[in-house]
Structure 1
Amino acid sequence: MSSSWLCVYGRRHVLGLLGLGFSSGLPLALTGSTLQAWMMSEKVDIRLIGLFSLVGLPYTLKVAWAPLMDRFTAPWLGRRRGWILTTQILLSASLLILGSLTPSRHLQLMGALAFIIAFWSASQDIVIDAYRAEVLPDADKGAGAAMSVVGYRLAMLTSGAMALILSDHLPWRTVYLSMGMLMGACTLWTFLCPEPANSGEAAELGPKNLKETVWAPLTNYFTRPGAVAILVFVMVFKLSDALAGALTTPFLLDLGFTRTDVGTVNKAFGLVSTIVGTLIGGALVHRLGIARSLWVAAFLQAFSNLAFVGLALAGPNYAFLVGAVALENLCGGLGTAAFLAFLMSLCDRRYTATQYALLSSLMAVSRVLAGTPTGFLVAALGWPWFYTLSVLGAVPGIVLLPRFAPWRRPPSPTTLP
């Protein structure tokens, strides 16, 4: 194996995840913020636009049908790529149909179709997450996670910022038809990606009936020693990161920065910093392994929050803003790459879709819950003390690190499956 930190990104099974990550991220804004902008331009009642937030429910409930994607295999391209291709085709067709409608005339139909698109998109996420966990050896999991995140972020820029810019020059229908065709082009990546090794064997060993489909993945996971403690670790590892990021935009505006400053630095430059961080994190996992990378990420995520403490004390200093945003997003991206690699390592190949959906859902729940009290904390403590306190959010994860990611010895099968 090459000692280079970057050569891992040129491997077929890693590089392919860039396109799959893009495919995964493209539909999100098209049923969210971009669709809301289209409805606003058509003078749709703001109350109805707010109700359209419900179309995102499939993303939070995907663990409910994830077992079916472990149980059944599409009749082409293999166990995982077959489902990826199927969902991509359905997404492309649905986006093309959505682009042929108009909010002022077909609002109810668009709502139903947006919900269907979110369902296909969540289903695609399930199988791409499973594919990524199965196709990557442990040494490449960090790099694969990084490439997925980079592709996902680029897709969100495309279907978010780029779509909005295009809508100033082209009809909304043309924008959505273009996005639908771009979604269809993503199928080319699926053909180029290799099917995970032993995929057929894993399918044969997987669930054979409905009872096994639903219960076997959960039984397999919860009979492991320390299974519940691992779930706690999954929920708290990025707690400090979640606390720091919950109110970043209000924080910067409250300091006196303009919306343009926030958009260009926190959003655009922050995105670049996150991408760089995930690529460094992927290379770090390849170099140090998952366990040691988690240690590095845990401390960097925590102490990078202190940059916002300094910014809160310095006030609207543009140079300090750039430095704080760069450091926070760089460390956050690094931590994401290492942590996704860890989540992938927890999954049994027979039930990857279900188990990864469970773990990623818990991670999302913890992020939502962590953001809930932040406004009250800021009101009571002020910005400097709030961001100081957010550093303590890393303590539970660091305390659990020696058990699930020991630094001085390889993880045992009972602690890191």
Structure 2
Amino acid sequence: MIEKRKTDSWGAAFRVYRHPRVMGMLFLGFAAGLPLLLVGGTFTAWLRDLGISLAAIGFLSWVGMAHSLKILWAPVVDRIPLPFLTRLMGRRRSWMFFGQLLLCLSLAGMAFTDPRTHLALVALWAVAAGFASATQDIAIDAYRIEAAAKELQGAMAASYVLGYRVALLAAGAGALHLAASFNWSVAYGGMAVLMGVGILTTLMIEEPDVFVDEETLRLEKEVAAFRNGEGRSRLHTFRLWFVGAIIGPFADFWQRFRMTGFLILLFIGLFRISDIFMGVMANPFYLDLGFTKTQIGNVAAAFGLAMTLTGAAVGGVLVVRFGIMRMLIATTVLAPLTNLTFSWLALLGPELYGLVVAIMADNISAGMAVAVFIAYLSSLTNTAYTATQYALFSSIMTLPGQFLAGFTGILVEQTSWFLFFISSALIGLPAVLLAILVARYANPDTLQQPGHQKTV
């Protein structure tokens, strides 16, 4: 059953954006969003500007798969302390800080490496930036979920998306304008400097407190005792840590959701597949159609940001007003429909009004979807295993789309831009059916929950 409306007051719904923790997510969202395009859309524009083939660009998009594979090291971020930093800054903030420093170094490495002579080295720097970005995201996602109560998660997500999208404007329109006015080295060097926003924010915020239930607390005490070496071998210590850090998060999920967990994970994997599938080829499409880098920066990035922010803000409010599941179904339907506007643009040609219409439809829909989906994923986590569980969900969310996106260049070269965007819409249809099934059979509000979410 879909949940009832959460509040009858629009004023109360909008006031959630004044909460200090909600406002703080704005800057962490900026830090999380800045590197995404620099190893994604902006990176592919750079490569296409150099004349790299569409097939090669498609395969190089796998550089960004670190975000899809972050579940592999999320347990480390969740449980392993960093020397000196964790004691000084806390569990979440220390890993944020580490990822941000590595990002600065990696982006600077890309800026000072000439891709015309050292393309492989640029790709390696991009891989390092992707790893650092994914590590930062693991810690930020865990912080966001642990820092506020469930009823604030929609607004936390919307604030996060606001900062995230402002960063995308900087890494998209900003980088493209810098590249057009100067060169790509100046563009990437400027982005490395902007990562200072994330570093300063991490230094200013406070580490969140987390409450755990009795059963989780008992397990954690047992594991902690063995980790402290109370008469156990190192092998035994590692085995028990592995159970607590690796097995525990997955066992907790299956215990709470049981067989409906398969339905939830399948839905998560397909929810954004159409957007991710087409996203890799967006900038090459605009360039091939005849738009300039300045036009792409102004419309696809700057105007697109305004539309995405509109969608994200509306999505956050509608989650508070109508609940997560209703909005989840609505945004699942919108995603493939708005992809069809790009097929129309492919037939229309390089008309600026066509680009405006396509970007407006797609980005409003995407902004709503991201805000709603982040709130949904947050509702599935147990704060005892926040980083690992959320990394699992977000990895599943992006991995199918990013893997298939590696073949999009071949698809375009073998067919056409028109048919490519038709296929990107069709691939999103199964998610619509799954959204309805999840709302009916796997609604997290009607299933067993951990019941220990921090309230601030």
TM-score range, shorter chain: 0.7 to 0.9
How many positions carry a matched residue from both structures?
Answer: 410
Counterpart for residue 347 of structure 1: 381
1:2-61 C-alpha deviation (Å, 9 max, x unpaired): 7424322222211211211111122344456667888999x99999x9797665453332
The whole-number CA distance in structure 2 between the counterparts of 1:28 and 1:205 is 37
What one-letter code is carried by the residue in structure 2 that aligns with 1:26? L
Match of 1:195 among 181, 189, 207: 207
Q: Does the alignment pair 1:216 with 2:248?
A: yes
1:144-167 C-alpha deviation (Å, 9 max, x unpaired): 222222322322332343234335
Q: Does the alignment pair 1:402 with 2:448?
A: no
TM-superposed CA distance for 1:124, in Å, is: 0.7
The whole-number CA distance in structure 2 between the counterparts of 1:11 and 1:137 is 11
RMSD: 4.5
TM-superposed CA distance for 1:237, in Å, is: 3.2
User: Cα–Cα, structure 1 residues 242 and 95, in superposed 2: closer, same or farther, change >3 Å?
Assistant: closer
Counterpart for residue 230 of structure 2: none
Match of 1:228 among 242, 259, 262: 262
The whole-number CA distance in structure 2 between the counterparts of 1:270 and 1:27 is 18
Report the TM-score, using the length of structure 1 for normalisation.
0.77
Match of 1:135 among 112, 131, 147: 147
Counterpart contact for 2:37–2:43, Cα < 8 Å: yes
Percent of aligned pairs sharing the same letter: 37
The whole-number CA distance in structure 2 between the counterparts of 1:188 and 1:395 is 41
The whole-number CA distance in structure 2 between the counterparts of 1:111 and 1:376 is 23
1:323-367 C-alpha deviation (Å, 9 max, x unpaired): 443223212211221111101111111111111111111111232
Report the TM-score, using the length of structure 2 for normalisation.
0.72
1:58-105 C-alpha deviation (Å, 9 max, x unpaired): 333211111011112421232212221232233334545665666688
Match of 1:411 among 417, 435, 445: 445
The whole-number CA distance in structure 2 between the counterparts of 1:106 and 1:298 is 41
| Alignment gaps of 5+ in structure 2 | 1-6, 225-240, 452-456
TM-superposed CA distance for 1:235, in Å, is: 2.1
The whole-number CA distance in structure 2 between the counterparts of 1:275 and 1:171 is 29
1:256-303 C-alpha deviation (Å, 9 max, x unpaired): x64247665444433321221011101111222222322333344455
The whole-number CA distance in structure 1 between the counterparts of 2:33 and 2:182 is 23
1:367-416 C-alpha deviation (Å, 9 max, x unpaired): 2466668769977996897688567445323431432576xxx8213389
Q: Does the alignment pair 1:78 with 2:90?
A: yes
The whole-number CA distance in structure 2 between the counterparts of 1:109 and 1:313 is 38
Q: Does the alignment pair 1:181 with 2:209?
A: no
Match of 1:10 among 11, 18, 26: 18
- 1:367-378 alignment, distance < 5 Å: 367-368=401-402
What one-letter code is carried by the residue in structure 1 that aligns with 2:246? V
TM-superposed CA distance for 1:111, in Å, is: 5.5
The whole-number CA distance in structure 1 between the counterparts of 2:137 and 2:397 is 15
What one-letter code is carried by the residue in structure 2 that aligns with 1:89? L
- 1:220-369 alignment, distance < 5 Å: 220-223=252-255, 224-225=257-258, 226-239=260-273, 258-260=290-292, 264-301=298-335, 303-304=337-338, 319=353, 322-368=356-402
User: Cα–Cα, structure 1 residues 85 and 313, in superposed 2: closer, same or farther, change >3 Å?
Assistant: closer
Counterpart contact for 2:171–2:191, Cα < 8 Å: yes
The whole-number CA distance in structure 1 between the counterparts of 2:151 and 2:39 is 36
User: Cα–Cα, structure 1 residues 339 and 171, in superposed 2: closer, same or farther, change >3 Å?
Assistant: closer
User: Cα–Cα, structure 1 residues 109 and 231, in superposed 2: closer, same or farther, change >3 Å?
Assistant: closer
The whole-number CA distance in structure 1 between the counterparts of 2:139 and 2:186 is 30
Counterpart for residue 3 of structure 2: none
Q: Which moved more, 1:396-405 or 1:313-322?
A: 313-322
Secondary structure at the counterpart of residue 259 of structure 1: coil
TM-superposed CA distance for 1:218, in Å, is: 1.7
User: Cα–Cα, structure 1 residues 211 and 153, in superposed 2: closer, same or farther, change >3 Å?
Assistant: same
1:291-319 C-alpha deviation (Å, 9 max, x unpaired): 23223333444554566687789888765
What one-letter code is carried by the residue in structure 1 that aligns with 2:78? D
Secondary structure at the counterpart of residue 446 of structure 2: coil
Secondary structure at the counterpart of residue 91 of structure 2: coil
User: Cα–Cα, structure 1 residues 189 and 203, in superposed 2: closer, same or farther, change >3 Å?
Assistant: farther
User: Cα–Cα, structure 1 residues 394 and 321, in superposed 2: closer, same or farther, change >3 Å?
Assistant: farther
Secondary structure at the counterpart of residue 69 of structure 2: helix
Counterpart for residue 76 of structure 2: 68
What one-letter code is carried by the residue in structure 2 that aligns with 1:284? L
